[in-house]
Structures are given as structure tokens and as C-alpha cells.
Amino acid sequence: MQNDMLTFTKNGQHYPEVKPAEARKHDFNEIYANFDPVQAAVQASRCSQCGIPFCQIHCPLQNNIPDWLKLTAEGRLEEAYAVSSATNTFPEICGRICPQDRLCEGNCVIEKGFQSVTIGSVEKYITETAFANGWVKPITVARETGISIGIIGAGPGGLAAADALRRRGHEVHVYDRYDRIGGLMIYGIPNFKLEKEVVARRHQLLTEGGIHFHLNYDVKDINELRERHSAVLIATGVYQSREIQLPDYSLAGIIPALSYLTASNRIGLGDRVRDYENGVLNAEGKDVIVIGGGDTAMDCVRTAVRQNASSVICLYRRDQANMPGSAREVKNAMEEGVKFLWLSAPKAFVGNGYVNQILVQQMRLTTHDNSGRQSVVPVEGETFALKCDMAIKALGFDAEDLPTLLNAPSLGLSKYGTVAIDQQSFATNVEGIFAAGDIVRGASLVVWAIKDGRDAANAMHKYVTALQHQAMVA
């Protein structure tokens, strides 16, 4: 199918079929089907091949989106995958979980009356077609360099760096405290957005490509790794849940979002989780309130629905227009029966050993703050109580105390507690130690972690090859 650059005026925007809300509430399977070849070609052909591709500009990876859309429209799918994977280590992940409405699709220049190109769904289609046809191959190395590099963290940033460094011929060892690779892609993101077989499939390819994974390995002393490897990358991500300092915030039944999501994902993977089995991390039959408005909050409310909670409410202190989470995920949650209370913030937890109510303060928007978002202030005298058997705190994540955890007391930190680096070289203040991903930029998107991992790998390659050259000269 040829693209005449005005196809978007003839063919409307369509996403792949989505399971009805009532049906999808009862399982954790992905809710979106895959395009068939005709649908994919038609939707890809809607790209107008504009002179300034804002979709590409607003993609953290600078993916060559118009190019692989055009190739898809023409049925040249193997070439489309080659172009897509050239800039994106994990297009099968990004096609599923990137907030395209805030990034590529949200910046499509097609006149808004015609709606944007369905970029994410086409990306997923291209990659799944590539896997089905055997076009996705393990890493092959033309020449081994003899240089060994260690990476702490098997999340998207660490994996992207590992892939890039292995392709350069280096020996790569990835250390992770968990029993599976993927980080939040495995334990934080629910199956209805990203089925775990997708991550496991990539794990197998990376292993076949020669990357060494050391799982259930909690690094206690980074100096030991530094002695084994020419360079070490810290890509641990940020996992420490932000606390909420309110009266009775330590009552039982008030739990961090990541603890809740990890338990649910482990159950889906077939693990036994004691606190799920005894009901502590299981929403079944409970009145659940999730505090927060980001993507993690949406993951929590939609998980609670699938665990057969009696009711699910999301409290968010700003209005819907100011929510940081994906608008698509908010829509999905609403369809599945989640109730949203905008301009509402928790004021106190109430209970006798175990939470049974949340006292809620009504808020109002005021002037814009330094970030460009409107500030919020309490409405005097406007409070109300909500029944609550389980309160889930989805307020974001901070970095753990890495200098202590890694026995690296001199490791430099930013004022936010993240690792401080040189922005060009990704180097920390400790010789031979680099850092990338959320542990540097703070909690962010998977696609940003992939970009940081790839960029850090390039910088580390320059560093270790320079060391090797110096040793040969000496």
C-alpha cells in the first residue's frame, strides 16, 4: 500500500480491538489485540511524512517513526523492524507501555480533526511480526575485546546498556537482587499492560547473545565488582516509596504501591506470596483507596479491580487535566469501574490498629508553580470521610541510600539523593563507576531508561577502550 501523504483524510484513526471492560476486569491478560496486516498497513499509511517529524523529536530515543511507518504501509515489514530496532533496544516493550499520548502520538502534526497516527500499536505489530518470522536474532559479536564490564540492575536501563556493550564485543555481567530480569517491567507493571512472556522472551535472547546474568545477587560492595571489571554501571532504578506523613499513617492496611504490585505480579508468575495469601496484599472484598495520580496509581486501581475489590477509588489532589498519568490509562480505569475523586487529598487515616477510614480534604487550584502546573490549596472547612479497608500509597519513588548499600561512601549524590554524574560521560565521581536511568534522573519512563542505558554504554565503551589502548602502549 503506497502512502500518498493524504491517506489520513480518507482513513480514520483506529486502534486494535480492545476487550470490553466487563470482560477484561476478570483476568490480567493484555487488553489490546494486535493489528492484522491490512489494519496495520492502513493505519501506518496515515502518516503524512511531514517535513519536521515531531513524533520523532518528542520520542526520547529519536526513533525514525515516519520511516518505519512508511515501510509498514508498503508491506516491507522486515525492513521496518530493522529501522525500528536500530534505535530502540526493546520496541516490543515500548509499543505496549510507552505513554504515546504524551510523546509521539501526542505530537503528531496531522490536523487534530483527523487524529494522530496510532504509532504505538504499529510499533507493537512490527515487532510481534518480527518475532513470529524469526527476524529477531540474538546478539552476534564479530570480535571479542577481552574487556569485562559489570552492570548493577537488570531493569530497562541496565539491559539496554548490556545489549549495547555486548554488541561492541565486551564481556558483560549483569547483577540483580531479584530472581528475574526486567525490574519494574516484571514486578511493577501489571500483565494487562505488559505480559511477562514478552520480557522472558527478550531475556532468552540476551542470554543467547552472551550476556551473563547473576540473579538473586544483592551487591553489598561495589568495590568487589570494580576489581572484577574494567568499569561498572549503576542502573538500580529507584524503589523507595515516598512516605505520607499524616495522622495514623502507620496503621495496618496502608501499603506502598510497589509492595502491592509486586505481590500481584508474583502471583501471576506462579510464585507463592504469603502476604497475598493472608490477605494483607490482596484487595479482594475490600474498599480500596489509591492515593496518587500517576501511571503507578493507575496500575494499582486496575489491579484492585481484577482482584475483585468491593470498591476502588482514586484520590488525586489536582483535577483530571493536571494528572501526570497517561490519559489512556485513566480512561481504561474509568471504564473498568474505578471512581476518581479530583481535587481531593488525604488529611488523616482513621482506625483502631487497622485502617477503616480516610479523612479527605477538598482542594482547589491556584496559580501555576515553577514547574508550570497549578498549585493546590485546601478549601477551608471542606472535609469528608471515606470507608477504606486498604489504602495504597502511589506517591512516587525516591532513591535508596546507595553510598551505604554499595559500600561506596564517597559516591557523589544530587540534592535529590540520586547519583550525580557528568551528563556527557555518565561518569560518577568515582573512577570507573558510571550511572544511568532512574537512579540518575529520578523515577521516569521505561523509554527514558532505555535511552540513558544506550547512551551510557557508548560513553563506557570509549572509556574502557581508552584504558585498553593505554595498557597496550605501556
For the chain, the structural domain boundaries read: 7-132, 148-238+399-473, 279-395
**Could you tell me which of 41, 34, 54 has the C-alpha nearest to residue 7?**
41
Instruction: Give the pLDDT confidence score for residue 111 in this predicted structure.
Output: 65
Residue with cell 505488559: 194
Predicted TM-score (pTM) of this structure: 0.95
The CATH code of domain 148-238+399-473 reads 3.50.50.60
Instruction: Give the pLDDT confidence score for residue 2 in this predicted structure.
Output: 47
SS3 call for 254: strand
Instruction: Give the pLDDT confidence score for residue 373 in this predicted structure.
Output: 78
Give the three cell numbers for residue 1: 500500500
The residues near 22 (Cβ < 8 Å, ≥ 6 apart) are none
Rounded to whole angstroms, the Cα distance separating 174 from 419 reads 19
Same fold? 7-132, 148-238+399-473: no
136: DSSP letter: -
**Could you tell me which of 315, 394, 403 has the C-alpha nearest to residue 361?**
315
Whether 384 and 360 have beta carbons less than 8 Å apart is answered as yes
pLDDT digits (tens), the chain, 474 positions? 444 667 888 889 999 999 999 999 999 999 999 999 999 999 999 999 998 999 999 999 999 999 999 999 999 999 999 999 999 999 999 999 999 999 999 999 886 677 899 999 999 999 999 999 999 999 999 999 999 999 999 999 999 999 999 999 999 999 999 999 999 999 999 999 999 999 999 999 999 999 999 999 999 999 999 999 999 999 999 999 998 889 888 999 999 999 999 999 999 999 999 999 999 999 999 999 999 999 999 999 999 999 999 999 999 999 999 898 888 999 999 999 999 999 999 999 999 999 999 999 999 999 887 777 788 999 999 999 999 999 999 999 999 999 999 999 999 999 999 999 999 999 999 999 999 999 999 999 999 999 999 999 999 999 999 999 898 887
Instruction: Give the pLDDT confidence score for residue 1 in this predicted structure.
Output: 45
Phi, psi of 152 (to 5 degrees): -100, 110
Reported as type and span, the H/E element at residue 167 is helix 156-167
Rounded to whole angstroms, the Cα distance separating 108 from 111 reads 8
Rounded to whole angstroms, the Cα distance separating 251 from 25 reads 29
Residue with cell 585498553: 468
Pairing status of strand 231-234 against strand 355-368: unpaired
Rounded to whole angstroms, the Cα distance separating 193 from 30 reads 5
At residue 272, what is the residue type? R
Residue with cell 559500600: 407
Q: Which region holds residue 383: left if phi is over 0, alpha if psi is between -120 and 50, else beta?
A: beta
Topology of the domain comprising 7-132: Fumarate Reductase Iron-sulfur Protein; Chain B, domain 2 (1.10.1060)
Topology of the domain comprising 279-395: FAD/NAD(P)-binding domain (3.50.50)
Transcribe 303-366 into DSSP letters.
HHHHTT-SEEEEE-SS-GGG--S-HHHHHHHHHTT-EEETTEEEEEEEESSBEEEEEEEEEEEE
Instruction: Give the pLDDT confidence score for residue 304 in this predicted structure.
Output: 98
Rounded to whole angstroms, the Cα distance separating 441 from 443 reads 7
Rounded to whole angstroms, the Cα distance separating 4 from 17 reads 26
